[in-house]
C-alpha cells in the first residue's frame, strides 16, 4: 500500500456516536433461558463447581425455598356437610348467579327454567352416549346426539345466600329408558342420584370461578366430615317428624338437598322462619291423556316443610298450605327422610 513502516492509528478518525436504541413502537428482544444454569438460590452460575456447591446446600434450606404446591384459592372452596358437597363462593349471590348461568350455557346445556328470586337454575335433559374408551371424564359422555344409550341426565343448581358468601348446590337427576310390560313401547324410569356426576360438576364449576383444575380435584376428593344422624319419630297426633341431631345451619342445608333429591320443586324459602315452600313436579302427559277431560288438569300439590331449631337438634315436619298433616304430606316426608339418611 506504500505506507512503509508508519503505524496506523485507527482511532484517529473515529467519531463518537450515540448508543443503539430500540425504535419507538418496538419491544426489546426477549432472552431465552432454556440453557441457563441456576444455583440453589436462583442466580446464574458459570462453572460446574459453583453449580455443585450450590446444590450441596442443606435439604432443609432448599425445602424452605421450594414454592408452595396447590396454594388455596381465595374466595372459592368446596365444603362438606356429611357426605354432601357444595361450593362456597365469596361475594354476592347476584355475581355468583351470572357466573353459574354462563357456566351452564358454556357447558352445552339448555336451560329448562331459571328463577333468580329462588336461586334455582334447571337444565333440560341431556342424553348420554355409550362409553368408547376415549372419555376423559364422566360428563364427557353427555351432549352427543349421534348415539342413543337409553340414559339421560339433567342438573339443578341452587344458590343460597350466606354471610358475605354464596353457597351453590348441584343435584343430578338420571333416567333410563325401559320397555313397558307390552314389550313394544318404552317409558323413562328415574335412577338414583349419581354423586360422582355431582362432584365432577362442582369441580368444573370451581374451576370456572378461578380455581386451578388440580386444586379443584383435590378439594372434591377430600373426605367429608361426619354429621349427626336423623330419625323418623311419630308424635302424639299420629303424624311423623324427622329429628336431625345437628345445628340449624347444617340441618337446613341437609333438608334442602334431600328435598331436591326427592324430586320436589322449591318455589320459595324463608330461612328466618325455617320454611321451604315446595310443590310436586308437573306431570308430563301424552296426547292420549288430553282426552281425559274428567281429570283435573292441575294435579300439582303444594306443601310446607318446617325446620324447627331446638339448639343441638332440629325437628322437620311437613304439612299442606293450610297447615294440616295430610296423608300425602306424610308420604313426602318419608321420602325426604330416606334422602337425608342416604
The pLDDT score that the predictor gives to residue 218 is 75
pTM, rounded to two decimals: 0.54
pLDDT tens digits, one per residue of 247-285: 898 899 899 989 988 888 889 999 999 999 999 887 655
- Output the pLDDT for position 22: 64
pLDDT in tens, 289-302: 555 555 555 578 99
- Report pLDDT for 63: 45
Q: What is the mean pLDDT of residues 131-140?
A: 48
Q: How many angstroms separate the CA atoms of 42 and 46, rounded?
A: 13
The percentage of the chain sitting over the pLDDT mark of 70, rounded to a whole number, equals 64
Distance (Å, whole) CA 99 – CA 112: 17
Per-residue model confidence as pLDDT tens digits over 21-32: 666 656 655 665
pLDDT at 340: 85
C-alpha 194/C-alpha 203 separation (Å) is 15
**Confidence at residue 143, expressed as pLDDT on a 0 to 100 scale:** 45
pLDDT at residue 134 greater than cutoff 50: no
* φ, ψ dihedrals at 17, nearest 5°: -120, 155
Domain 71-226 has what CATH class?
alpha beta
Most confident option among 6-10, 107-111, 131-135: 107-111
What's the rounded mean pLDDT across residues 148-176?
88
pLDDT band, very low/low/confident/very high, at 62 (cuts 50, 70, 90): very low
Q: Which of 52-61, 235-244, 258-267 has the lowest mean pLDDT?
A: 52-61
Length of the chain (residues): 342
Q: Return the half-sphere exposure (C-beta side, CA atoms, 13 A cut-off) of residue 313.
A: 11
Tell whether domain 227-283+296-342 is in CATH 3.30.310.170.
Answer: yes
Beta bridge partners of 154: 173
pLDDT, residue 110, reads 93
CA distances from 264 to 44, 52, 154, 332 (A): 65, 68, 15, 9
Mean pLDDT, residues 232-251: 85
How many Cβ atoms are within 10 Å of 325's Cβ, its own excluded?
18
Q: What average pLDDT does the segment 71-77 reach?
A: 69
The residues near 162 (Cβ < 8 Å, ≥ 6 apart) are 88
Q: Where are the domains of the chain?
A: 71-226, 227-283+296-342
pLDDT at 70: 43
Residue closest to 202 by CA, chosen among 292, 107, 269, 329: 107
Alpha-carbon gap, residue 83 to 230, rounded angstroms: 14
| pLDDT (0 to 100) of residue 217 | 77
Lowest mean pLDDT: which of 135-149, 161-175, 204-218, 283-297?
Answer: 135-149
Asked whether residue 193 carries a pLDDT value surpassing 50, the answer given is: yes
* CA gap 105, 97 in Å, rounded: 13
Q: What is the DSSP letter of 145?
A: T
- The 10s digit of each residue's pLDDT in 75-132 is 888 887 766 788 999 989 999 999 999 999 999 899 999 999 889 999 999 876 554 4
Give 169 or 34, the one with higher predicted confidence: 169
- DSSP secondary structure of 191-204: E---HHHHHHHHHH
Three-state SS for 105?
A: helix
In the structure, what pLDDT confidence band is assigned to residue 239 with cuts at 50, 70 and 90? confident
What's CA 269's distance to the chain center, in Å? 22
Amino acid at each position: 500500500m506504500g505506507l512503509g513502516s508508519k503505524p496506523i492509528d485507527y482511532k484517529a478518525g473515529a467519531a463518537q456516536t450515540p448508543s443503539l436504541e430500540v425504535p419507538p413502537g418496538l419491544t426489546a428482544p426477549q432472552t431465552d433461558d432454556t440453557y441457563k444454569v441456576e444455583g440453589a438460590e436462583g442466580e446464574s452460575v458459570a462453572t460446574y463447581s459453583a453449580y455443585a456447591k450450590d446444590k450441596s446446600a442443606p435439604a432443609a434450606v432448599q425445602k424452605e425455598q421450594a414454592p408452595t404446591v396447590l396454594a388455596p384459592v381465595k374466595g372459592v372452596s368446596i365444603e362438606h356437610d356429611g357426605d354432601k358437597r357444595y361450593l362456597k363462593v365469596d361475594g354476592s349471590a347476584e355475581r355468583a348467579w351470572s357466573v353459574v348461568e354462563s357456566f351452564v350455557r358454556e357447558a352445552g346445556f339448555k336451560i329448562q327454567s331459571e328463577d333468580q328470586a329462588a336461586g334455582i337454575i334447571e337444565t333440560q335433559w341431556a342424553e348420554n352416549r355409550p362409553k368408547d374408551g376415549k372419555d376423559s371424564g364422566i360428563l364427557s359422555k353427555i351432549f352427543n346426539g349421534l348415539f342413543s344409550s337409553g340414559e339421560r341426565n339433567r342438573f339443578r343448581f341452587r344458590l343460597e345466600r350466606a354471610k358475605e358468601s354464596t353457597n351453590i348446590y348441584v343435584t343430578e337427576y338420571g333416567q333410563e329408558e325401559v320397555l313397558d310390560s307390552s314389550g313394544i313401547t318404552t317409558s323413562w324410569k328415574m335412577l338414583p342420584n349419581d354423586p360422582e356426576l355431582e362432584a365432577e360438576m362442582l369441580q368444573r364449576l370451581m374451576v370456572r370461578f378461578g380455581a386451578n383444575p388440580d386444586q379443584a380435584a383435590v378439594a372434591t376428593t377430600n373426605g367429608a366430615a361426619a354429621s349427626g344422624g336423623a330419625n323418623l319419630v311419630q308424635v302424639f297426633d299420629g303424624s311423623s317428624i324427622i329429628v336431625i341431631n345437628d345445628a340449624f345451619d347444617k340441618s337446613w342445608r341437609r333438608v334442602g338437598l334431600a328435598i331436591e333429591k326427592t324430586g320436589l320443586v322449591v318455589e320459595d324459602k324463608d330461612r328466618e322462619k325455617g320454611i321451604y315452600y315446595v310443590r310436586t313436579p308437573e306431570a308430563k302427559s301424552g296426547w292420549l291423556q288430553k282426552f281425559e277431560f274428567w281429570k283435573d288438569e292441575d294435579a300439582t300439590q303444594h306443601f310446607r316443610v318446617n325446620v324447627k331449631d331446638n339448639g343441638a337438634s332440629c325437628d322437620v315436619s311437613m304439612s299442606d298450605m293450610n297447615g294440616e298433616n295430610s296423608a300425602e304430606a306424610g308420604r313426602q316426608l318419608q321420602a325426604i327422610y330416606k334422602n337425608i339418611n342416604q
